[in-house]
Chains A and B, each alone.
Chain A
Amino acid sequence: MQSLLKMPQNPKYSQRMSHTLYCRCAYAQVISGPVKNARLEQLCASGEEFEAVPDLCEMAAARDPRLAELAHKDDLRIIACHPRAVKGLFAQAGCPLPPTAEIVNMHEALPAS
């Protein structure tokens, strides 16, 4: 397991424990590179804490235990693709999303920041 630790370059990083999950959709060009990059840039610039994963589909297929941990968070926000697919992936991994989970669909236009 490779592990890297770097100091943030953005002083806006808050101490608030956030439960934002960003999916990179790394195994397919389902979401275009520029769209994924724009979302990632926006997240980094926000100063928000977040978790980024290469591919949520891959995690669901592997029933990654991290998904179950995330599914228990009340303030979970997932930035990925179509909400129906994301909900289905969590359910299939054995950890259905709570109704409070917010799913941001990267197929839809990025709101102005």
Chain B
Amino acid sequence: MPANASEIAALLDSGNAVTVSADGYRARHTGNTPPAAAGASTTTATRSWKPWFPVIDYDRCTNCMQCLSFCLFDVYNVDENSLIEVRNQENCKTNCPACSRVCPEVAIMFPKYSGSPINGEPVNASDLSREKMKVNVSSLLGGDIYSTLRNRSDQAKSRFSTERSADKALAERKRCLDKLQRDGFIPAEVLAEIDLTNLPSPEEIQRRAAAASAKAQAALAANAAK
């Protein structure tokens, strides 16, 4: 590599933006330091920024609000025009692209993910129809939120909160995690970080799901009225 390309590469790898012009090159530190060593894990490197968040392909997105209803960590929200947006990206769980699987349009990307089409590669017809794309990760958190949302009768709500013993919920989380791991969908290091005994309670999940769903319904109603 020519000397200046090596120098520029080193500056970039230590967190500098570089402007190359006829006068030479100028470096400006961005304030963050990327994991410099080749092969360093994105989950173990020390840094102030987490390179993991969903990116919406607005050419594909239909504003169906499924992602907003699904995410329990407030990553998604609606903007002033009632359109979906990624609002709290720092809440996103590192290396887990689970929400991309609930999007019916395959419009959710994670640019740092290795697999297609989640990494931004073009979406083909088989991606759209692939059942493997669809996953209900709510059971990972201890409850079938989707059936609760689909059938929001009081009866269904009370069954959700009263019939589940802590042991049963824990067993279900483990079963779901095993399946996701077998499918190669959630990396082992992410699973290792999940404290199965310290996940939100079914009641808390239900509360968050209801809040997210209410937001989605309000946005859908606002969009329908346009």
The residues of A with any CB-CB pair to B shorter than 8 Å are: 1-10, 13-15, 24, 26-30, 33, 36-37, 40-41, 43-45, 49-55, 57-58, 60-62, 66, 81-89, 91-92, 96, 107
Are A4 and B25 interface neighbours, CB within 8 A?
yes
Q: How far is the CB of B166 from chain A (nearest CB, A)?
A: 37
Residues on B with beta carbons closer than 8 Å to the beta carbon of A43: 5, 20
Complex CA gap A51/B53 in Å reads: 24
Chain B residue at minimal CB-CB distance from A15: B22
Are A84 and B18 interface neighbours, CB within 8 A?
no
Does B38 interact with chain A (Cβ within 8 Å)?
A: yes
Residues on A with beta carbons closer than 8 Å to the beta carbon of B18: 51-53
Are A88 and B22 interface neighbours, CB within 8 A?
no
CB neighbors of A among B14-52 (8 A): 15-30, 32, 34-35, 38-39, 42, 47, 49, 51
Residues on B with beta carbons closer than 8 Å to the beta carbon of A10: 2, 4
A-B pair count, CB < 8 Å, reads: 168
Are B51 and A28 interface neighbours, CB within 8 A?
yes
Known A2-B27, A58-B49; contact A53-B17, beta-carbon cutoff 8 A: yes
Residues on A with beta carbons closer than 8 Å to the beta carbon of B24: 5-8
Residues on B with beta carbons closer than 8 Å to the beta carbon of A15: 22
Are A82 and B120 interface neighbours, CB within 8 A?
yes
Q: How far is the CB of B120 from chain A (nearest CB, A)?
A: 3
The range of chain B's interface size is 35 or more
Residues on A with beta carbons closer than 8 Å to the beta carbon of B58: 88, 91, 96
Are A29 and B120 interface neighbours, CB within 8 A?
no
Residues on B with beta carbons closer than 8 Å to the beta carbon of A82: 111, 119-122
Complex CA gap A3/B25 in Å reads: 10
Q: How far is the CB of B56 from chain A (nearest CB, A)?
A: 6
Chain B residue at minimal CB-CB distance from A29: B39
Are A55 and B34 interface neighbours, CB within 8 A?
yes
Known A30-B111, A85-B120; contact A52-B20, beta-carbon cutoff 8 A: yes
Are B27 and A4 interface neighbours, CB within 8 A?
yes
Chain A residue at minimal CB-CB distance from B122: A84
Are B15 and A26 interface neighbours, CB within 8 A?
yes
Are A57 and B8 interface neighbours, CB within 8 A?
no
Chain B residue at minimal CB-CB distance from A90: B55
Which of A27, A43, A81 lies at the interface centre, i.e. has the most chain B CB atoms within 10 A of its CB?
Answer: A27
Of the candidates A24, A33, A53, A61, the one whose C-beta lies within 8 Å of that of B89 is A61
Of the candidates A14, A36, A81, the one whose C-beta lies within 8 Å of that of B120 is A81
Residues on B with beta carbons closer than 8 Å to the beta carbon of A26: 12-13, 15, 34-35
Residues on A with beta carbons closer than 8 Å to the beta carbon of B120: 81-86, 88
Residues on B with beta carbons closer than 8 Å to the beta carbon of A62: 49
Known A58-B51, A89-B55; contact A9-B2, beta-carbon cutoff 8 A: yes
Does B220 interact with chain A (Cβ within 8 Å)?
A: no
Residues on A with beta carbons closer than 8 Å to the beta carbon of B128: none
Q: List 23 A-B contacts (CB under 8 A).
A: A3-B26, A3-B28, A4-B26, A4-B27, A8-B4, A13-B22, A27-B34, A27-B51, A29-B38, A30-B119, A37-B5, A41-B2, A49-B20, A50-B20, A52-B17, A55-B34, A57-B51, A57-B53, A84-B109, A84-B122, A87-B57, A87-B59, A88-B57
